[in-house]
Amino acid sequence: MVARAASGAVPARGRLTRPKVLAAAIELADRQGLAALTMRRLATELGVEPMALYRYASGKDALLDGMVEAFYGEVLDQLGPVRAGDWRREVHRIAQVFCTVAAAHPAVFPLVVTRPLAIPISRRPAPMLHLNERMLDLLSQGGYDDHTTLRLYRSLVGWVLGYLLVEKRPVVDNPDEPDPLLRLGLHRLPVIEYPHLRELAPLLGDYDAPSELAGGLDLLLEQLPTAKPARRARRSRKAE
């Protein structure tokens, strides 16, 4: 995390670098939300003139795309090298690390979901593409044909992103209320119209994020067809 001076600005130590600018942008967004992030405000945080930032980001959109790049870079840094062993276990580890980084940067995560949608695959940030390639290489170890491998990849990515979006929705109405029905405010819903929501209040109020993530991944992986023994992971690279 970028250290801040007492005034709230980050003093510029030495020359700026792209990683330093992106780290400061993420830190500012984490602290005050994306609405507070402007080129001028970021320059103040870094203790430089606004024009100094345009060498590293041509504008606000480029800065937001750079933050997505930095997010995926952090995921790769935390993952480290591929671990040998059960590829399913490695899928779980990647998902957990991704969710840990998303939890550390809640204001940045919506960008991770939305910004790549307008960018062709080949132009997406290199760290994102490296993680995509790593996942595809890992899944190919299951011995599935290309169609099944790609379908599984899309299902896993969709599950993890959807899980995070659901997890980050505010659900608690009154944090100090011990009764889950009251804590979630579901007692205000007529039981005749919303019997299931009211009945599920204890489970909705006792949400175990890591267990939900792992359970959803297991459900997806359990639905896989049996791979043909003759099919080998022709593109798979050995873990170091």
* Residue range 113-139, pLDDT digits in tens: 999 888 888 899 999 999 999 999 988
**Rounded to 5 degrees, what angle do the CA atoms 69, 74, 80 make?**
125
In 105-184, which ranges are continuous DSSP H helix?
A: 109-114, 126-139, 146-167, 180-183
Listed in order, strand segments (DSSP E) in 13-75 are none
Collapsing DSSP states into helix, strand and coil, what is residue 7? coil
Residues 6+ apart with CB under 8 A from 121: 129
> How many whole angstroms separate alpha carbon 176 and alpha carbon 40?
40
- Mean pLDDT confidence for 211-238: 65
Judge whether residue 228 has pLDDT over 70.
no
Reported confidence tier of residue 225, pLDDT bands at 50, 70, 90: low
pLDDT score at 238 = 47
pLDDT score at 233 = 45
> How many whole angstroms separate alpha carbon 114 and alpha carbon 137?
25
- Specify if 227 maps to a domain: no
- Specify if 196 maps to a domain: no
Q: How many other CB atoms are there within 10 angstroms of residue 47's CB atom? A: 16
pLDDT score at 14 = 55
Judge whether residue 227 has pLDDT over 70.
no
Q: How many other CB atoms are there within 10 angstroms of residue 193's CB atom? A: 8
If you search the block for the tokens 């801040």, which residue do you land on? 4
Q: How many other CB atoms are there within 10 angstroms of residue 80's CB atom? A: 9
Which pTM does this prediction carry? 0.79
- Mean pLDDT confidence for 197-225: 79
- Specify if 90 maps to a domain: yes
* Rg for the chain, CA atoms, rounded: 22
pLDDT score at 162 = 86
Question: Cα-Cα-Cα-Cα dihedral of 70, 125, 98, 207, to 10°?
Answer: 100
pLDDT score at 2 = 40
The number of folded domains in the chain is: 1
Judge whether residue 7 has pLDDT over 60.
no
Lowest mean pLDDT among 25-34, 89-98, 154-163, 217-226: 217-226
Tell me whether residue 115 is exposed, middle or buried, using C-beta atoms within 10 angstroms of its C-beta: 0 to 12, 13 to 18, 19 or more: buried
What's the farthest any 2 CA atoms get from each other in the chain? 65
Give the tens place of pLDDT for each residue, 93-109. 999 999 999 999 989 99
- Mean pLDDT confidence for 183-212: 83
- Specify if 185 maps to a domain: no
Q: What percentage of residues in the chain have a pLDDT greater than 70?
A: 85
pLDDT score at 83 = 86
| Average pLDDT in the chain | 83
- Specify if 208 maps to a domain: no
Residue 25 lies in domain: 18-179+213-222
What CATH number does the domain containing 47 carry?
1.10.357.10
- Specify if 229 maps to a domain: no
Judge whether residue 231 has pLDDT over 50.
no
CA 221 vs. chain centroid, Å, equals 20
Give the tens place of pLDDT for each residue, 70-85. 999 999 999 999 888 8
- Specify if 11 maps to a domain: no
Reported confidence tier of residue 222, pLDDT bands at 50, 70, 90: confident
Tell me whether residue 17 is exposed, middle or buried, using C-beta atoms within 10 angstroms of its C-beta: 0 to 12, 13 to 18, 19 or more: exposed
Cα of first residue to Cα of last residue in the chain, in angstroms, is: 30
- Specify if 132 maps to a domain: yes
Give the tens place of pLDDT for each residue, 35-61. 999 999 999 999 999 999 999 999 999
